[in-house]
Structures are given as C-alpha cells and as structure tokens.
Amino acid sequence: MSKPQRVATDRVKRSGGSQDTGTLGKAISVLDIIANSSEALRFTDVLKLSDQPRGTLHRQISNLIDEGLIAVNRDNCYTLGLRLLQFASKAWAGNEFRNVAAPHIQKLHEATGETVHLGVLRDIEVIYLDKIESRQNIRMVSQIGNTAPAFCTGVGKAALSALPDEELHERVERIEFRPYTPNTLADAAALLSEISTIRSTGNAYDREEHELGITCVAAPIFSRTDALFTASVSVTGPAYRVTPEMLASWTEITRDTASAIMQSMAIQLSPRS
Amino acid sequence: MSKPQRVATDRVKRSGGSQDTGTLGKAISVLDIIANSSEALRFTDVLKLSDQPRGTLHRQISNLIDEGLIAVNRDNCYTLGLRLLQFASKAWAGNEFRNVAAPHIQKLHEATGETVHLGVLRDIEVIYLDKIESRQNIRMVSQIGNTAPAFCTGVGKAALSALPDEELHERVERIEFRPYTPNTLADAAALLSEISTIRSTGNAYDREEHELGITCVAAPIFSRTDALFTASVSVTGPAYRVTPEMLASWTEITRDTASAIMQSMAIQLSPRS
DNA sequence: AACATAGTTCCATATAATGGAATTAACTCA
DNA sequence: TGAGTTAATTCCATTATATGGAACTATGTT
C-alpha cells in the first residue's frame, strides 16, 4: 500500500526554470531570465529569451515590478529588485538548518584554519548556505546564495552521495558534464563511480574540478526521515597551500562535523514525536 | 495633455503587503506572511493570517513550494525557501547602485573607523543594501536586506528628506509612530520638522531613536531624474564611544560621500525646495 | 477506539491571464 | 529638424486559470 506523498515533498524535484506552469511559475521564469543574464536586459531582450507573447510578458513584468521583485533603471533595463534581499535576509536568518550548523562549522573552521562551506543540494546544483573564511573578504554576501554545479564540487558530490539510488540516477541523467577544468569529471559513469567511493569512505574531494587551484574535502549531511534533504560541509583551500595530505588529514573532522550537525538536527526536531 | 506615466514608475509606490491584487500579488502576500512571522507557521496559521479560503491558499502555497520560494519542514511548518537566497545573491552582486557606492562607503569607513551603512528607501522603510564594519562580525548576511522603519533611523530620515513634498506627506501619513525608545519621534509633526532641518543642513541624526545606545549621522542620496529613488549613507556607532561631537565632526564627510556617490551615478543634484 | 483537528483534493463557476493587433513613445540618421 | 525605424505600451474579445465551498483523508489527542 503506497501512501500518497504529501504535495509538499512530492513536487520539489524540478529545479526552477523554463518549463514552469501556472501563473506564478511563469512569473518566476521571467525572474530567472533576468537573474541569469550576464547582460542587462531591456524589454525586447527578455521577449526574445522567453517564449511569451508581447502583451503577456509585458503584464508579467509589470506585476513583478509592482511586487518589488524587479526594478527598472533609467535605460529601461531590468534588475532584480531589493525586495528579494529583504526576503533572503529573513530566509537566511531564520533558516533552522543553518542555525543548527553554525557553531559546528565555526569549530571546523577553527580546527582547520581554512575556509569552510555549508552547502545544500537543490536538484543538481548546490546552494551555499554559509561560509566562514579567515581573511573575511568583507563582501561575502554575494557568496551566500551562490550556486555551483553539484557534479564538480566537493559539497555537491558529497550531497549527491546521500541521495537514494533511484533519485540519484534520475538526477545524474540530467547533468551536463561541462569541463570546467582538465580535472572535471567527464561523464555519469565517472561520477557514479566516485559517488560509490564517497559512500564507502564518507568523504568527497574536489581536486580542482570546478576551478583550477581550488581543492576541498567534504562530508555529507542527510536526514533519513526526509531523504530529499541532503547537504554537506567542506573545507576548502588553494591548492598551493592545501596539499593532498592536508586534505586527507581533515577527512575525519569533516565527517565528525557532519555527524554533529545531523545529531543536532535530530535533537532539534525530535521533541515532536 | 498629461503624458501617461510608464507602467514601471507608476506603480512602484505601495509597499508589498496585504492589499495586493492579481495572482502574483496574492502569492507574494502569502510569502510575506511567512517572512514576517516570528513564529513558525503551519497551514492553519497561515490560513488565519491570510483572508484566502482554504482551497485557494493551499494551492497558492503548493505553487510557492514548487518554485522553491517556500520550504516545509517535518512539522509541516513553512519557512522561506533557499531559492530566495539564490535570487538575492544575484540581486546584490548585480546591483548597480551598490557597486557604484561601494568604494565611497569604504573610504567613509576608513576615515571614521566606525560602521557605515548604505540604505535605500522603500515606501516607509529602509532596506540596508550594504554595511561595512571594522570587527567584521562574520554573520553580516542577515543584516543586508534587513529593513528598519524610516522615521526613527538616520538612513531613513535622510532618505525621506529627499522626497518631493507631496510624496513625503503621503507617506508620512501612513507611518505608525511606535516608540522604540524614549527618544523616538512621537508624531508626524516632529518628523516633518526634523526633515525640514535635514533639508537645510544636509544631515540627519539618529539619537538613539530606534535602539538605545546606537547613534548615527547620515546624508541623503537622491536622483532628480527619478524622484522615487532615494537612499542614504550613514556612520553609526555605540553612544558610549561615539559622542555627539564626533557625530558632528562627520557631517561633512558623510555629505561628501553622498555627493560623490551621486556624482558617480551621474545624477544631477536637484535644487532643494 | 472514538473524537477532534489539521491537511488535502475535487470540480462547477467566476475571474484573471492571454495574445494578436493597434497605439504611442523613443531612438537613429540624413 | 523631421522622416524612418525600432522599442515599449495599451486594448479587449477570447480562453484558460484560479477560485472556493464542501467533501474527504490523514494526523494527533483524550
């Protein structure tokens, strides 16, 4: 007897994007177009990128502007609205997982002296939820909320490894294996093989696979009660300073940090049942 | 013949909130309810706070979940989704005004040694767009995107002072003069009188009006071509260290910083009315 | 186990979104 | 400056989508 999934968990799968349905979905698609463009877009530019008719798109944009999700500058170019900052500020401050994880990643940072990341898997991307670095480079805001492909980052691969097989394969099929560096994994087979290693060792590495000169070791964080939530912690550093030996020496502490976070989450959530 | 305002600038006025119309508006209202609640809300809680019927609200929430704007935890409580972080990260990084202002507020920070804010007025609230503090308190992310009432903060009052009179009065009428501290301005008359001072001197003060122990001096940033955009910079510090004399000594440099930012934005100074 | 409360689904109806085309505004260049 | 061109905005009959009351299912409580 298969009990029907609750709507909530049932639909989160598809990453936001182009094929969105419903009025809200279309509006967010437009927002996405504006967010993901490197160029500043005017109305006609968005028109070309979206497949909406003129009138429709125009009203959608008007609505987004009304809500403060989009702003227009003097050249009639669209930018993301400050309302998004407002929401995000609260999303971040109120995020239970981040709050729970904060002291642990702080400890990890102190122990290693290198940059520490907390990442959450969203479909086949990783969203960086938190970051601690020594030489606080002032402008970290833009880093938090940043996304990176899951398949070529330590946080990403660690998080992927925590997925149930079926889910994992479904997602891996949709990955486009863009070769960011010479070390980037080339295809699904390579990725799956590495994930199998990660599952047995409990650690994922990034050996300059996303960006040359950047290496890291990561460990997965997952919840068995809610299998769709997977995340991870990592210690990252420049390859010239952080040797493979150093990375290897941090495997245990990253795993311990991940475990500690899972424990804290479990405690945090248990008073219910 | 009155030329019709373009939709863009015409509708930005109302702050997001309860009276929103259209499908998107209603969805964002729901998001707002969840964002602004101190408690974790379950479905029925949101139902009470919104004036939507059960079925409708349920679908709206489902859609928001689909788009990643809302997440549900195991207790069926709603939280803001990480998708918002993703958008906000780009909104912040790509914000032209912030980018232009960044070097100037950095200089202001170096000159004063105290915390510097860059705030943008949104209706009767201020959104903090950037912040530089000495002892980088690591977790500044939640600060950026934060909002504060305009009437009791330096940044807020400075920005208000740059509004055209008509607009100013319209907004001031809607302010609820909640007494955050004994020093908080009590009513519209007091605020308008102070704004008149700000207009002639070019500086706004916050004398522990929002939070006891916090003082600041601010200067407005505005654009004549787009009167609805007003912002400001401020230097803030703890009252025990930052004396009124020190604040007074920073009036000129805050004004200069504001001017420099306006210049960089290629904005012409408007004559004061 | 029975009750109570919370969450989800259904479907005829009303309402809001649609989109093609016309209108107006904003550039461009002679 | 003004004709020519491109971009932005508005209009409105049609259609698709959101609506919302009520029935239903699941969850938690005494």
A261 pLDDT above the threshold of 80: yes
Burial of B94 (0-12, 13-18, 19+ CB in 10 A): middle
Instruction: Check residues B69 and B15 and name the one with the higher pLDDT.
Output: B69
Mean pLDDT of B165-169: 92
Residue B173 within a domain: yes
Chain C nucleotides covered by protein, CB below 7 Å = 5-11, 16-22, 24-27
Please write down the long-range contacts of B130-135, taking CB distance under 8 Å and 24 or more positions apart. B130/B98, B130/B101, B130/B102, B130/B105, B132/A138, B132/B105, B132/B106, B133/B109, B134/B109
Residue A1 within a domain: no
**Per residue in A64-73, is it b (16+ CB within 10 Å) or e — as a string?**
bbbbbbbbbe
- Minimum CA–C1' distance nucleotide for B60: D18
Chain D nucleotides covered by protein, CB below 7 Å = 6-12, 17-23, 26-28
Q: Is the same domain home to A77 and A186?
A: no
Q: Which of A24, A129, A130, A267 has the highest number of chain B CBs within 10 A, making it the mutation to test binding with B?
A: A24
How far does Cα B251 stand from its chain's mean position? 21
Strand partners, A221: A231
Given an 8 Å threshold on Cβ–Cβ distance, is B91 in contact with A85?
yes
In A, residues 145-174, which contact B (CB 8 Å cutoff)?
145-147
A270 pLDDT above the threshold of 90: no
Closest partner CB to A82 (pick from B79, B81, B129)? B129
Q: Is the same domain home to B19 and B79?
A: yes
Per-residue flag: A18 CB under 7 A of strand C: no
Closest partner CB to B144 (pick from A35, A141, A146)? A141
Q: Look up residue B29 and give its two tokens.
A: 């209202």
- Nearest-CA neighbor of B157 among B117, B118, B194? B194
Q: Which residue's structure tokens are 């952080």?
A: A242
Q: Is the same domain home to B133 and B206?
A: yes
Amino acid B228: pLDDT: 75
Residue B249 within a domain: yes
Q: Is the same domain home to A220 and A117?
A: yes
How many angstroms separate the CA atoms of B174 and B195, rounded? 16
Q: Is the same domain home to A244 and A188?
A: yes
Amino acid B226: pLDDT: 61
Given an 8 Å threshold on Cβ–Cβ distance, is B24 in contact with A63?
yes
Q: Which residue's structure tokens are 């490894």?
A: A161
Residue A39 within a domain: yes
Q: Which domain holds residue A151?
A: 94-272
What is the pTM assigned to this prediction? 0.89
Compute φ and ψ for A185, nearest 5 degrees: -60, 140
- Nearest-CA neighbor of A28 among A75, A73, A67? A67
Q: Look up residue A189 and give its two tokens.
A: 């087979």
- Minimum CA–C1' distance nucleotide for B21: C16
Q: Is the same domain home to B43 and B148?
A: no
Q: Is the same domain home to B35 and B146?
A: no
* DSSP 8-class letter at A228: T
Per-residue flag: B14 CB under 7 A of strand C: no
The full DSSP string for B14-78 is SPSSSS--HHHHHHHHHHHHHHH-SSPB-HHHHHHHS---HHHHHHHHHHHHHTTSEEE-TTS-E
End position of a domain, from candidates B55, B83, B111: B83
Amino acid B133: pLDDT: 82
Q: Which of A41-45, B7-11, B139-143 has the lowest mean pLDDT?
A: B7-11
Burial of B34 (0-12, 13-18, 19+ CB in 10 A): buried
- Nearest-CA neighbor of B130 among B236, B122, B140? B140
pLDDT interval class at B192 (50, 70, 90): very high
Q: Which residue's structure tokens are 């210049």?
A: B263
Q: Which residue's structure tokens are 């479990």?
A: A266
Per-residue flag: B13 CB under 7 A of strand D: no
CATH number at residue B157: 3.30.450.40
User: How many Å does it take to go from CA A33 to C1' D26?
Assistant: 39
How many angstroms separate the CA atoms of A154 and A209, rounded? 9
- Structural domain tally of chain B? 2
pLDDT digits (tens, 9 = 90+) for B105-154: 999 999 999 999 999 999 999 999 999 886 655 445 668 999 999 999 99
Q: Please provide the distance, in angstroms rounded to a whole number, between the alpha carbons at the two ends of chain B.
A: 26
Rg over alpha carbons for chain A, rounded to the nearest Å, is 20
Q: Please provide the distance, in angstroms rounded to a whole number, between the alpha carbons at the two ends of chain A.
A: 23
Residue B60 within a domain: yes
In B, residues 84-143, which contact A (CB 8 Å cutoff)?
84-96, 120, 122, 127, 129, 132, 136, 138-143
Given an 8 Å threshold on Cβ–Cβ distance, is B89 in contact with A145?
yes
Residue A194 within a domain: yes
- Minimum CA–C1' distance nucleotide for A3: D26
Q: Are B121 and B107 in contact (CB under 8 A)?
A: no
Contacts of A81 (CB under 8 A, 6+ apart): A64, A65, A67, A68, A69, A70, A71, B91
pLDDT digits (tens, 9 = 90+) for A115-154: 999 999 999 999 999 998 866 554 456 689 999 999 999 9
Per-residue flag: A48 CB under 7 A of strand D: no
Amino acid A209: pLDDT: 97
How many angstroms separate the CA atoms of B42 and B63, rounded? 16
Q: Is the same domain home to A70 and A191?
A: no
Q: Is the same domain home to A130 and A64?
A: no
Q: Are A220 and A211 in contact (CB under 8 A)?
A: no
- Chain A nearest C-alpha distance from B14 (Å): 8
Instruction: Check residues A237 and B134 and name the one with the higher pLDDT.
Output: A237
Q: Is the same domain home to A37 and A142?
A: no
Mean pLDDT of B61-70: 96
Convert A158-200 into a string of H (helix), E (strand) and C (coil). Answer: HHHHCCCHHHHHHHHHCCCCCCCCCCCCCCHHHHHHHHHHHHH
Given an 8 Å threshold on Cβ–Cβ distance, is B9 in contact with A226?
no
Amino acid B270: pLDDT: 35
Residue A88 within a domain: no
CATH number at residue B35: 1.10.10.10
Residue B1 within a domain: no
Amino acid B180: pLDDT: 97
A98 pLDDT above the threshold of 90: yes
Amino acid A176: pLDDT: 97
Amino acid B73: pLDDT: 86
pLDDT interval class at B175 (50, 70, 90): very high
Q: Is the same domain home to B181 and B112?
A: yes
- Chain A nearest C-alpha distance from B224 (Å): 12
Q: Is the same domain home to B117 and B246?
A: yes
Per-residue flag: A58 CB under 7 A of strand D: yes
Given an 8 Å threshold on Cβ–Cβ distance, is A85 in contact with B143?
no
- Taking contacts as CB-CB distances below 8 angstroms, the residues of chain B near A127 are 82, 85-86
Helix orientation angle between B83-93 and A22-36, rounded to the nearest 10 degrees: 40
- Taking contacts as CB-CB distances below 8 angstroms, the residues of chain B near A86 are 35, 122, 127, 145-147
